[in-house]
Amino acid sequence: MLKTCKKGNWFEIIIPKTWDGITIQELFQRKWNSPKKLTHQFRMEQKVLVNGQKADWNKPLTPESKLQINLFEEEEINIPPQYMEVSVLYEDDHVLVLNKPPFLNTHPNDLSKDTNTLVNAASFYLQSKGEMRNIRQIHRLDKDTSGAILFAKHPLAGAILDRLLENRKIKRTYIALVQGLFKQKKGSIKDPIGRDRHHASRRRVSSSGQEAVTHYQVIKENTKKQVSYIKCWLDTGRTHQIRVHFSHIGHPLIGDTLYGGLPFFKRQALHAAKLEFLHPFTEEKIVCHAPFTDKPVIFQDIDLYTL
């Protein structure tokens, strides 16, 4: 794990031996995959120092030297804050993980009109702590899906996490309650998903759709009620992917009436229970478990910490 600390608006990294010989330019472009525009901004605005001095972006770094990056300046807020209680699963100077309740949109579709979303709540939370910066969501959940969502607190962290997500290095494990009992208790669904031209909000399995891969494992069954509790994780992130895939194989999610689920609950029984990722700067492995919040309880006697 890297040695780091925050000093005012500056973030300091003690250069490890593994970075010996790489330049700041290579660090931003190759290791962190920072967008060209953002990298150029850090360079032109002299937001990077080495041992307190103006950095030479093309000079190799040496172990134990101090790399200082101006990451924490105040920003002009473009996400309207909206107060609501938030459940914090993990937080530091760079990232924030919240436990999203059901029946709440992840982000506004119209910044000026939609303020009752998790992004607006996260914006209020940051500002209430004196952090005048725009929150950046890394992924999303459907309105009626609950669980862990990852946010970045500044653009560089956002860029690094975006690339980790793109490279499938952020793992999200879901719990779902579905109809029926499985003959095969563990497997993968690899059917492509596309839009349903007959329904504006639905998706469907389609040979012309985008690649979609869902892995699953049955963790509990109720033979009397003919339902199964499953954990699943994705190689891709298509809209409604879990809901579409399990409906397609004859096991729609309980409560998911859009895809044929029985209306035992007011929402689809889907929860993002576990989130795993490498910290964008310290490279520490972060594991977050998101407690269930439904009343009445949907996921009976499931131990999140065994997933």
CA distance 212 to 193: 6
> How high is the pLDDT of residue 135?
95
Q: Which of 128, 163, 160, 154 shows the shortest CA–CA distance to 6? A: 154
pLDDT tens, residue by residue, 62-87: 999 999 999 999 999 999 999 999 99
Which residue out of 20, 93, 142, 191 is catalytically annotated?
Answer: 142
Helix axes 36-44, 155-166, angle to 10 degrees: 150
Which residues contact residue 264 at a Cβ distance below 8 angstroms, ignoring those fewer than 6 apart?
A: 254, 255
Structure tokens at 190: 């690899």
Length of the chain: 307
CATH code of domain 4-70: 3.10.290.10
Q: What are phi and psi of 187, to 5 degrees?
A: 180, -170
> How high is the pLDDT of residue 99?
98
Domain ranges of the chain: 4-70, 172-271
Domain 172-271 CATH assignment equals 3.30.2350.10: yes
Ordered alpha helix ranges (H), the chain: 24-26, 36-44, 118-128, 155-166, 241-248
pLDDT tens, residue by residue, 108-130: 887 777 889 999 999 999 999 99
Task: Compute the mean pLDDT over every residue in the chain, rounded to the nearest whole number.
Answer: 95
Q: Are strands 146-152 and 270-278 parallel, antiparallel or unpaired?
A: parallel
> How high is the pLDDT of residue 198?
87
Which residues contact residue 52 at a Cβ distance below 8 angstroms, ignoring those fewer than 6 apart?
A: 66, 68
- 172-271 and 4-70 share a CATH fold: no
Asked if pLDDT for residue 1 goes beyond 90, the answer is no
Is 142 a residue of the active site?
yes
Q: Which of 154, 162, 147 shows the shortest CA–CA distance to 47? A: 154
Asked if pLDDT for residue 191 goes beyond 90, the answer is yes
Q: Which of 114, 117, 113 shows the shortest CA–CA distance to 84? A: 117
* pLDDT bracket for residue 7 (50, 70, 90): very high
